[in-house]
Chain A
Amino acid sequence: MSEATPLVEVRDLQKHFPVRRGLFGAGSGQVHAVDGISFTIAAGETLGLVGESGCGKSTAGRTLLRLVQPSQGEIRFRGDDITSLDGPAMLPYRRSMQMIQQDPYASLNPRMTAGEIVEEPLVIHRIGGRTERRERVAQLFERVGLRPEQRLAYPHEFSGGQRQRIGIARALALSPALIVCDEPVSALDVSIQAQIINLLTDLQEELGLSYLFVAHDLAVVEHISHRVAVMYLGRIVELTDRRSLFETPLHPYTEALLSAVPIAKVSARGRKRVVLSGDVPSPVNRPSGCHFHTRCPYVHARCRSEAPALHAVREGHLVACHLHEAGPTLPLARPN
């Protein structure tokens, strides 16, 4: 897996949004939603992207798909630079890169039947004739666990879990290689979450799909991912395989995040936890140096002035923290 070109390669990706401040602020600023992140996703791999609200994880996913135009950096798909391709040139890549959204209700056209929704990508990309498309839709319905007669029903007639199945069927229609899943189960009830997570895992195994799995629920991410990247205020602070991340987190933020997750076991009660004080700072007025220094229990002088670079502490375990600066800096790491 490591020898071949990764399916996706992102280098120093940045997305800034302009903000106009209210009555009292002067002029305008910029939100550094995504502030120079780098990662790769191999074929058949799931990369989890976790972080709290406003950390830029969703924007990262949307920028990767070029649903929003990156401000800087490079996106490669199967080795091809797609960062600034125009509409027609981008079209063949779009076929291979799909998305599943958090709120399946908001992402499905209420005036189209479920069958039409799933068929639409085939129509847009002019794939197959009418009968072939219908067959493909029937196949997709079966694959995601919807009954054939449900083709004729409208989105409001489905439950949340079933709507998410429609969303998945639509994403699969063009046989993509990559699906960006943006909080795909966080709006669903627990028992339904499990159904969707199992479905996504089965599909990956069968079709060799790659996922960028964006979520805030660490237990879900841990379950589904091969590797996980943790984001804080627009930057990746730690990236490693799921086992290392959950067993030996190196970044103080990862440590705090993991210890804050309630564990559904009585034996876990009363375990020691790192409770962070305060809130996530605003991405408009980011702290100097390491963004996390305002809440970090291990903060020292250097953290306030100098941003740590993401570097490999050992092979495959990257962390951006001054506490762990023995290892070499990877070429992929963001220059500071």
Chain B
Amino acid sequence: MNRIVPRDVASDGGTTPATSDIVLEIEGLQTEFRSPSGIIRAVDGVSYNVRRGETLCVVGESGCGKSVTALSVLRLITSPPGRIAGGQIRFEGSDLLAMSEAEMERIRGNEISMIFQEPMTSLNPLYTIGRQVSEAIALHQGLSRREAMDRAVAMLQRVAIPDAASRAGSYPHQLSGGMRQRVMIAMALSCHPKVLIADEPTTALDVTIQAQILDLIREQRETLGTAVVLITHDMGVVAETADRVVVMYAGRKVEEANVADLFERPAHPYTRGLLGSIPDIEGAARHPGRRPRLTEIKGMVPSLAKLPSGCSFAPRCGLATAACQEVAPPLVQHRPGHWAACWRAEQVLAGIAA
């Protein structure tokens, strides 16, 4: 049912990327925040591309910069203390960072939409959901209020809100968490955006509701060709939805690959560690007695204010050598479309244990 292999295997900077397919390009993005302990570089030279109709998953642990990258795309970084200090973000070829705020407003919610983790904080408690969804439609598509409301109800139906016409008159607090998230999705998709950025869209939801929401996003992508950037920490969600995956650690992209390569042959020790630390739900069959221990990644994520020199992951890495502590490794393409920033990636690919 799902395509495991992305339609276009060539990657950025690899052979010849099908440039016409690329809707969003992030290049060398640097986003920093001023703090009492100095400048914190939350995103440090991150690049990735998003292609029409694909699902790109961006994974990493808290503070790795995955959300800040997404907020930078929509220029939603509060300044001060935040600031986009460098890089380019191109949507269909035009640089978003060079646009006026008025131009940006036409892009936001219309061409590029975002869904957040906590729907309650992104919905206005004082307006009915029908009004909130139709407002975005009226604003961006220039429809009358009545036409916009009809479209809104149709959208609510599409995201499987039962009895949508009367539910449109409900206020956000009258809906369950899963319903609210569906309203957010209806709002985000109401203008048929070319890119949908979903930041942990299901983290606050129960698994049975999560399955519904992920199905819904998949369906939208398949029918409308929307490119989806799915930000998550859940490797299960990644395995089931991604075409390609970007792994971030301490503000940098450390690996990029198509989903099959990433899971079957990770090239970065951090990715390998992450995969090993997940309990295997199908493990009962193979280990009827005592369970094997989970792989731990020792220590913890470094503070962005005090990053170690060299590779940020080196202090936690079993394969680290003296060289790793001195110079940060560049991103290198190890196989077509498979990039990793690790001095020892070849050893990791060869399956050498830490």
A interface, CB within 8 angstroms of B: 52-53, 159, 161-162, 189-195, 197-198, 201, 216, 218-220, 222-224, 242-243, 246-247, 256-266, 268-270, 273, 275-280
Contacts and interface: CB of A to CB of B under 8 A. Distances in A.
Given A219-B236, A257-B208, A264-B263, A197 B284 contact: no
Contacts of B215: 275
A201 B212 contact: no
Nearest to A246: B284
Question: What does DSSP make chain A's interface, helix, strand, loop or mixed?
Answer: helix
B221 to A, nearest CB: 15
A85 to B, nearest CB: 35
A276 B208 contact: yes
Contacts of B275: 264
Contacts, number: 144
A218 B207 contact: yes
Contact of B285 (A159, A219, A247, A269): A247
A270 B211 contact: no
Contacts of B260: 266
B240 interface: yes
B2 interface: yes
Contacts of A279: 176, 178-179, 209
Tell me which of A216, A218, A258, A269 has the highest count of chain B C-beta atoms within 10 A of its own C-beta.
Answer: A269
Nearest to B178: A279
Nearest to B160: A277
A270 B5 CA distance: 13
A262 B294 contact: no
A192 B280 CA distance: 16
27 contacts: A159-B300, A162-B300, A191-B300, A191-B301, A194-B295, A198-B296, A201-B291, A216-B206, A219-B281, A223-B280, A224-B279, A224-B291, A243-B285, A243-B288, A246-B284, A261-B281, A262-B237, A263-B236, A265-B239, A265-B263, A266-B239, A266-B260, A269-B1, A270-B2, A278-B162, A279-B179, A280-B206
A267 to B, nearest CB: 9
B203 to A, nearest CB: 10
A266 B4 contact: yes
A259 B208 CA distance: 9
B225 interface: no
B43 to A, nearest CB: 18
B284 A260 contact: no
B208 A256 contact: yes
Contacts of A268: 239-240, 282
A25 to B, nearest CB: 13
Interface string B265-298: 0000000011111111111110010010111111
Nearest to B288: A243
B208 A52 contact: yes
Contacts of B135: none
Given A194-B294, A194-B295, A263 B282 contact: yes
B270 to A, nearest CB: 8
Q: How large is the interface on B (under 10, 10 to 19, 20 to 34, 35 or more residues)?
A: 35 or more
B291 A216 contact: no
B292 to A, nearest CB: 9
Contacts of A262: 210, 214, 234, 236-237, 239-241
A247 B208 CA distance: 19
Given A260-B207, A275-B215, A276-B208, A194 B283 contact: no
Interface string B217-255: 000000000000000011111111100000000000000
Given A192-B300, A197-B279, A247 B284 contact: yes
B254 to A, nearest CB: 13
Contacts of B152: none
Contact of A263 (B177, B208, B240): B240
Contacts of A276: 208, 211-212
B61 interface: yes
B235 A190 contact: yes
B212 A275 contact: yes
Contact of A223 (B61, B211, B233, B294): B294
Tell me which of B236, B241, B260 has the highest count of chain A C-beta atoms within 10 A of its own C-beta.
Answer: B236
B61 A191 contact: yes
Contacts of A161: 300
Contacts of B309: none
Contact of B274 (A159, A162, A191, A201): A191
A279 B167 CA distance: 15
A260 B296 contact: no
Contacts of A193: 277
Given A222-B281, A270-B2, A275-B211, 8 more contacts: A191-B300, A197-B294, A263-B240, A263-B281, A265-B239, A265-B263, A277-B212, A278-B162
Interface string B165-194: 000000000001111000000000000000
A78 to B, nearest CB: 26
Interface string B1-16: 1101000000000000
Contacts of B235: 190, 264
Given A159-B300, A268-B239, A275-B215, A219 B279 contact: yes
B294 A264 contact: no
A189 B66 CA distance: 14
